[in-house]
Amino acid sequence: MSLSKTTLTSSKYYKKLVNLLVLLVIYGIVQLLISIGILGDYYQVTLAMICINIILAVSLNLVTGFTGQFSLGHAGFMAIGAYTCAIITKSYDSPVAFIIGIFAAAVLAAIVGVLVGIPTLRLKGDYLAIATLGLAEIIRILILNFDDFTGGARGLGSIPQYTNWTWLYLFTISTIIIIKNFIDSSLGRACISIREDEIASESVGINLTKYKVLAFVIGAFFAGIAGALYASYFYYIKPDLFNFMKSIDILVIVVLGGMGSLSGSILAAILLALISSYLQSFAELRMVIYAILLLLIMIFRPQGLMGTKEFSLSKILRKKQTSHENSAS
Amino acid sequence: MGMLPGLKAFVAAVFGGIGIIPGALIGGITIGVVETMVSGYASSLYKDAVAFAILILVLLIKPSGLLGKNTREKV
């Protein structure tokens, strides 16, 4: 009895160790390729977009996929994060200010998320989508009109660049881990039950507004981080970057990857970035091919690439092990 | 292109009540007049924000729209 228990806990640690090792190896390989110069500037920009899109898609997946609240306002939170971090790092140009900027961006986006979420999350379906879309547009128009801080339509230029592969990777991985742990917790299960059936979950004592707002605020928090990383990587931001289409882009990643699958969102973010960078050589036809590909994927996999399944390294290892044992015996 | 007018049409429909034709008329007139008033007296830059602010106010105060009737949800 005690023996099986110790092997169980040791295998748990072993699994975590393997996962950690894989993450470190991926980080090391990419860092090595960047420092040697094999991965040029072009690939680095694609890599940064992939990381930022993963953060956005995973956080939107928590709201849309797991809690079932159809939100079209994710770009608004990203805009808040981007402008907060940009203004802070432009006023105090130092690495410490960058870190403070990221957290200020995340916290400010979360605060706006609370203020926005409490009134609008009473709505359902299309109404919620339109209301969140409207709020994102209001945020964008306000940024456009506060010329003194934000530069208005001209945008905000010469933002000091602090975001590099290390920061991007760190924040992407921690976003995924935090949201994964949230979903596996009792709070996350309450959110999933809201997605399945609102009335049933309310009747077993789940406070609908509380959990919806909680998921929404966590989503907004990470969207703020993604915005801050974006602003600090690309030197320049303007309100038009965070318009309605940006929200749709994020939603496309979530739906394509599968609503309710974090690994699906990650896979879709990587796939879409690769497709759109590969199609650069087709110039005018690029958006047409992109749209056709999306249509084809949605026709043949209506539930998204991963459905609600998750990719798990330890599960694959275990499967291999058992098949080996089977073939050996 | 054309995204914003489409969204505003939706706002007008929600304002009057979805599925009610006189409501859509009232909503359309109201949105148009308010937008023009805002561009005239305040700033034309806030014109687009006002439509969405109206939408959110309507959804908060009377989600079924101005002429809409409350329907009870059955379990």
Tell me the pLDDT tens digit for each residue of A13-61.
887 888 888 889 989 998 888 888 888 888 888 899 999 999 999 999 9
Q: What are phi and psi of B63, to 5 degrees?
A: -60, -25
What pLDDT shows up at residue B75?
65
Instruction: Please tell me the distance in Å from A176's CA to the nearest CA on chain B.
Output: 32
The whole-angstrom separation of Cα A285 and Cα A269 is 21
Total domain count, chain A: 1
CA-based nearest residue in chain A for residue B55: A131
Nearest CB to A123 within list B10, B43, B63: B63
Q: Worst-scoring range by mean pLDDT, A16-25, A114-123, A230-239, A279-288?
A: A279-288
Residues on A contacting B at a C-beta cutoff of 8 Å: 119-120, 122-123, 127, 130-131, 133-135, 137-138, 141-142, 144-145, 199, 244
pLDDT band at A1 (very low <50, low <70, confident <90, very high): very low
pLDDT band at A292 (very low <50, low <70, confident <90, very high): confident
Give the CATH number of the domain where residue A308 resides: 1.10.3470
Q: Which domain holds residue A184?
A: 11-324
User: Averaged over A71-89, what is the pLDDT?
Assistant: 92
Q: Is residue A2 part of a domain?
A: no
The whole-angstrom separation of Cα A61 and Cα A301 is 18
Q: Is residue A329 part of a domain?
A: no
What pLDDT shows up at residue A314?
67
The reported pTM is 0.87
pLDDT band at A9 (very low <50, low <70, confident <90, very high): low
Q: Worst-scoring range by mean pLDDT, A159-168, A216-225, A313-322, B61-70?
A: A313-322
Q: Give the max Cα distance, chain A.
A: 74
Asked if B49 and A138 come within 8 Å (Cβ–Cβ), the reply is: yes
Q: Is residue A1 part of a domain?
A: no
pLDDT band at A8 (very low <50, low <70, confident <90, very high): low
Residues from chain A that touch B53, judged by Cβ atoms under 8 A, are 134, 138
Considering A7-11, A254-258, B6-10, the range whose residues carry the highest mean pLDDT is A254-258
Q: Worst-scoring range by mean pLDDT, A82-86, A256-260, A288-292, B32-36?
A: A288-292
Tens of pLDDT, residues A312-325: 776 777 776 676 66
Q: Is residue A129 part of a domain?
A: yes
- CA nearest A56: which of A311, A185, A302, A241? A241
Q: Are A318 and A324 in contact, with CB atoms under 8 Å apart?
A: no
Nearest CB to B49 within list A141, A199, A244: A141
Between chain A and chain B, how many beta carbons pairs sit less than 8 Å apart? 48
Asked if A127 and B59 come within 8 Å (Cβ–Cβ), the reply is: yes
Task: Please count the residues of chain B.
Answer: 75
Q: Are A119 and B56 in contact, with CB atoms under 8 Å apart?
A: yes
Q: Are B15 and B55 in contact, with CB atoms under 8 Å apart?
A: yes
Q: Write the DSSP symbol of residue A123.
A: S
Q: Is residue A3 part of a domain?
A: no
Q: Which amino acid is at A102?
A: I
The upper half-sphere exposure of residue A310, i.e. CA atoms within 13 Å in the direction of its Cβ, equals 13
Inform me whether the pLDDT recorded for A4 exceeds 60.
no
A63, two tokens: 């709201």
Q: Are A276 and A291 in contact, with CB atoms under 8 Å apart?
A: no
User: Averaged over A68-86, what is the pLDDT?
Assistant: 92
Residues from chain B that touch A119, judged by Cβ atoms under 8 A, are 56, 60
What pLDDT shows up at residue A296?
87
Q: Are B22 and B16 in contact, with CB atoms under 8 Å apart?
A: yes
Average pLDDT, chain B: 83
The whole-angstrom separation of Cα A62 and Cα A215 is 6
What pLDDT shows up at residue B53?
85
What pLDDT shows up at residue A281?
79
- CA nearest A58: which of A266, A329, A291? A266
Q: Is residue A259 part of a domain?
A: yes
Q: Worst-scoring range by mean pLDDT, A123-127, A173-177, A257-261, B12-16?
A: A123-127
Neighbours of B13 (CB within 10 A): 18
Average pLDDT, chain A: 86
Q: Is residue A173 part of a domain?
A: yes
pLDDT band at A280 (very low <50, low <70, confident <90, very high): confident
pLDDT band at A176 (very low <50, low <70, confident <90, very high): very high
User: Averaged over A56-78, what is the pLDDT?
Assistant: 91
Interface test with B, best of A132, A138, A202, A240 (most B CBs within 10 A): A138
Q: Is residue A232 part of a domain?
A: yes
Inform me whether the pLDDT recorded for A169 exceeds 90.
yes
Q: Worst-scoring range by mean pLDDT, A75-79, A155-159, A304-308?
A: A304-308
Instruction: Please tell me the distance in Å from A316's CA to the nearest CA on chain B.
Output: 42
